[in-house]
Chain A
């Protein structure tokens, strides 16, 4: 995308005021989104996102900048602007860029940008109409097919030069059921670091039907009465609670400045001994996988918690400097416009030893959260709130009627300790995780598990 000579010039310019480290991140991304609503292809947009992000460090001080251009003058101007925020003299260090290739473990069989849009629209329609025709009470469906071809190049003053091409595809379908003046929604949105061959693995029809099934289930559901109770949380996107309430507090960005309830607790028990949690950016073709992170460190599989004991954090180079550690392939950014920081990739609670049927049987009165929606968490206190998009009352060990309006409220550190049964059907779900370095694709995951007691918000 940019010649080595220019990259070096830019790095030298960035170091000109005494920074001890400089990095150039070059991006050229092509994105195509097709949207359907009201049974018609409504919009299609092709987008080129391209530019350069520059970062410099001096100790733990960092300055970053970006410019929407790949031209030498613009890059040098950006580097000069970034450098101007430090005040020193350049150290005489010479930069020798040597390219490194870490390999690509994510084969792409059908590159979406080389496929006709009419073909992509047909795939989307297949999912769309499966939802629309599922039941007479489905009043509206909206659907989108996204494909991204994200090309990055990272060069730094330590001589690293590397690239990655990240191709991702995702279909999202959302269905609304309407009955007696009320609406309820259901949605399903699987995605992978794959091309259009994704839809040989996952039939778009199943995506649509799943969204519609949830909406129909929920339009016929009553409301749950809130209170404290045991909750069984199903696999897949159920892992969002671990992601939000614990994963974020295991990112170096929170740990390094003491804004995490898990700071300084390596080797200590932070979860029940049933819990082993992993962040693994190396799963072939997974939505959150990367060959290299956005600092050019190769992706890793990191055991974060092993049988309840805190083992590791997700670390980027800058926060690593504050913690006396090296980055472990966890530094990510949405685009060149965002300064990168430590983030998750595919983060999940690993399979346990409990039988899934025993988990439900163990609950006298409680909630079975079959599908979780999103939620939010306060990283400093660990308090979280998650919505249950498809929930059922459990009575005497049996899953009974569906209930609406439930949310799970608690504290990350408490819920980790209160997970007292972990099943064996590990699966992952896809999300876009938002934080200071933008919105990035991540997988969440877990098997069916039980939290002995948690506050369920209802009405």
Chain B
């Protein structure tokens, strides 16, 4: 059955079970994507997925249940399972079904039509062909991918809240391998853009160029270096450690920023913003996973911690208002604390070339590997394999790889000496987007040879 019909049915079942506080969260997505490699289409897929999560307050606790099947039986099961689950929960957290706000941001959805299969196919075949026109060392197996997605989220609850929001996006990806001698080098680039505005030639050129520049990369001498993180890699560091800014992590002892509001936690060059409406990002949300209105906020201002990110429960515990960061990235998940567009704000050090000039000597970091394992947000420790370029006499010199950069994120925030003005957004990861400019961090330990 249709969601609207299913929704009515679930509400009816909830009422029959004498529940007075409940919510139904719904998510549907339509994705279409294609990949080309070896001069042919290697993958084409079209997905229509949806799911709904019911939660209710029963005996003072919040029980959850979710489903992808919209049937009569499932409507009944959702209510019964959620109640059974609530009965086993021991958490004394104050739980809320939200009454709603009056000031939801109006976000215009860009009108787009779902692209035709043949347009996707042509686009990725053209891109893949383009790699080989750039450089004869490009290897077969280099891959081009294109995807279009449309997402709708809706939330309704027993307090009369009935919200919905839709957005769409399209992305073009290039993954290129190059062989020189016996050594293989690779890299990728992904662009998020209106489907009709993709510049295929430019992406082929930039990706191949990016990989070719790393040819001949060798390790570095172990020691302590000033690191210049590319905007992409600084954003990657933020994406790895953003839970440090979650009030939920903090109250569990999983962030060392706990209770540090008002204190200097970073160098004065650092301002970090969470912006649910950031113009260049397709992630724009007027309400969070609990129905709270979202807004733009400074998390760190000139090094001072202004606020952690909150949902209704953590805010109640801290005696503040929710920051509208109670998010559900998946319809079935619980309410997590997550940012939207989380950005290290632009500083005054200019474009990367100007930053190189100002630093003089260091390593420009353009790739970091092992992030999901070699970095621990609870402790801040990281030990990551890196790639990049030596910077000497204020200029980008030879490519380097096979070395590790190690340190601690909380210390890194204090060690930021220069922040560029070239903010770029990374590709969104699971509904959150990170961005940063070129950033210099002094005295980081590097293990090479």
Contact = CB atoms under 8 A, between A and B. Distances in A.
Contact of B42 (A62, A84, A142): A62
Interface stretch (B33-41, B101-109, B189-197): B33-41
Q: Is the interface of A mostly helix, strand, loop or mixed?
A: strand
B45 A48 contact: no
A459 B184 contact: no
Contacts of A383: 369, 385, 401-402
A84 B51 CA distance: 25
Contacts of A47: 65-67, 332
Interface stretch (A6-14, A90-98, A204-212, A402-410): A402-410
A259 interface: yes
B404 A226 contact: yes
Contacts of B252: 37-38, 140, 142
Contacts of A43: 62, 64, 89, 91, 334
A380 B369 CA distance: 14
Interface string B139-153: 111010000000000
Nearest to B175: A380
A49 interface: yes
A455 B371 CA distance: 18
A85 B372 CA distance: 36
B177 A380 contact: yes
Interface in B38-78: 38, 40-51, 62-70, 74, 77
Given A62-B42, A459-B447, A385 B374 contact: yes
A228 B449 CA distance: 7
Contacts of A50: 67-69
Interface string A54-93: 0000001111111111100000001001101100000000
Given A183-B256, A387-B370, A457 B383 contact: yes
B253 interface: yes
Contacts of A440: none
Contacts of A381: 177, 183-186
Interface stretch (A308-316, A371-379, A417-425, A444-452): A371-379
B378 interface: yes
A51 B68 contact: yes
A339 B139 CA distance: 25
Given A81-B46, A183-B378, A40 B92 contact: yes
Contacts, number: 236
A117 interface: yes
A198 interface: no
A108 interface: no
B379 A183 contact: yes
Nearest to A60: B40
Contacts of A110: none
21 contacts: A34-B88, A42-B93, A43-B89, A44-B89, A48-B74, A50-B67, A50-B69, A67-B47, A117-B85, A185-B376, A257-B37, A258-B141, A259-B141, A337-B47, A373-B374, A381-B186, A385-B385, A407-B384, A456-B447, A457-B384, A457-B406
Interface of B: 37-38, 40-51, 62-70, 74, 77, 81-82, 84-85, 88-93, 117, 121, 139-141, 143, 177, 183-186, 222, 252-254, 256, 332-334, 369-374, 376, 378-381, 383-385, 401-404, 406-407, 445, 447-449
Given A140-B252, A258-B139, 16 more contacts: A44-B89, A45-B332, A48-B67, A60-B42, A63-B44, A67-B47, A85-B117, A117-B84, A139-B253, A227-B447, A257-B37, A257-B141, A385-B370, A387-B373, A405-B406, A457-B406
5 nearest A-B residue pairs (beta carbon): A226-B447, A457-B404, A385-B370, A374-B373, A459-B406
